[in-house]
Amino acid sequence: MNIRFKQLSLIFIVGLISCQEGSNSRKADVGDVKIETIKISRYEQALFGIDKTKLKQELEKLQPSFPMFLEGDLNDSTSLKRIDDYISDTMLISVYRDCQLKYPNLSAQESALTNAFRHLKYYYPEKNLPDVYTYVSGFDYEYPVQYYDGHLLVAIDMYLGADYPRYRKLGLANYILRRFSVEFLVRDCMLAIAQSQADNHKVGSALLDKMIGEGKKLWFVSAMIPDLPEAILFDYTPEQLDWATKGESIVWAFLIENELLYSTDMQHSQKLISDGPFTSYFGAESPSRLGVFIGYKIVSSYMDRQKEISLTQLMRNYNAQEILNKSGYKPKF
């Protein structure tokens, strides 16, 4: 396929002038939704604060409160040795102390999560709200938040700020480092829950399927955190968000012009869905994941038009073509 972009440059210029930002998710009235204030349990404090000379006894005391971390057999010498090595590691001890300096308390995050969970309860009234735990992961940057068996496990050492010195030693690119900040913590929690609501096996292989699938997850997050800045939602810098917003029409025209929506070529999906410094089709100034950005805009338009569709129904709908058809999506040039 001959990918055409240069001939669309004039459209792009017009689009930069006239394209308007799409609408956000509907804001639910959660005033009548009553839940208890969320309390985050800090496993790292409990673990690094134990008396190591009484390791087994101390861990037995913690086990009822932290079963997802201490579900193993504490009579097993190998398990005990692994935990002892972990809490004796000088690097991890240093990281733990940095976490305590950065987060002496998590009251702001507890407040933000309480509000997000109030929205979760609004959309899923029968759903049990997850317990939330923090821990020191040893820089598990691929999984900063895990939603596991009804629990949110937050690697607190992955939110120490993009300029945290130890992050540089991981050899990661700046576009990855910038999300290791407190602004992303609650967003990542709700994204982990969103991912649990999606069955990736039901997502088709065409680019449109993947765009809509990822767009649904972001719409879920925006429904849980209605006031979340779009730069945080999309994981864009302000400049990248400005590019994506102004260039929305040219990206859509590019997808149509090159008949990419129904392409099952992994190379196209890689360039338009996957993370990276930019989208190669549009140059170094463009952000990555522009297919996800467009997917979110389509889903947002769909939900704005289909008022009777619940969030549960949206997340269970894997017919990307139907969502596109009923969205009326058409970015302005």
pLDDT at res. 25: 43
Domain map of the chain by residue range? 6-29+199-327, 40-196
Count of beta carbons in the 10 Å neighbourhood of residue 169: 8
CA distance 8 to 256: 11
pLDDT for position 8: 45
Please give the Cα distance from 204 to 210 (Å, whole number). Answer: 7
Task: Give the pLDDT score at 6.
Answer: 42
- Which tokens in the block code for residue 299? 């889903």
Residues 98-152: tens digit of each pLDDT:
999 999 999 999 999 999 999 999 999 999 999 999 999 999 999 999 998 899 9
Query: 302-306 long-range CB contacts below 8 Å, 24 or more apart?
Result: 302/326, 302/327, 302/329, 303/25, 303/26, 303/219, 304/23, 304/26
Question: Rounded CA gap, 131 and 64, in Å?
Answer: 14
DSSP 117-183: HHHHHHH-TTSPPPEEEEE--SS-TT-SEEEETTEEEEEGGG-S-TT-HHHHTTT--HHHHTTSSGG
Give 95: exposed, middle or buried? Use CB within 10 Å, 0-12, 13-18, 19+. Answer: buried
> Order of strands across the sheet with 40-42?
40-42, 131-135, 151-155, 145-148
What pLDDT sits at residue 26?
Answer: 58
pLDDT by 10s per residue, the chain, length 333: 455 544 444 334 334 433 333 333 457 899 899 999 999 999 999 999 999 999 999 999 999 999 999 988 898 899 999 999 999 999 999 999 999 999 999 999 999 999 999 999 999 999 999 999 999 999 999 999 999 889 999 999 999 999 999 999 999 999 999 999 999 999 999 999 999 999 989 999 999 999 999 999 999 999 999 999 999 999 999 999 999 999 999 999 999 999 999 999 999 999 999 999 999 999 999 999 999 999 999 999 999 999 999 999 999 999 999 999 999 999 987
In this predicted structure, what is the pLDDT of residue 16? 40
CA 38 and chain centroid, separation: 20
Give Rg (Cα) of the chain. Answer: 22
CA 26 vs CA 156, 231, 319: distances in Å: 31, 18, 22
> What per-residue confidence (pLDDT) applies to 14?
39
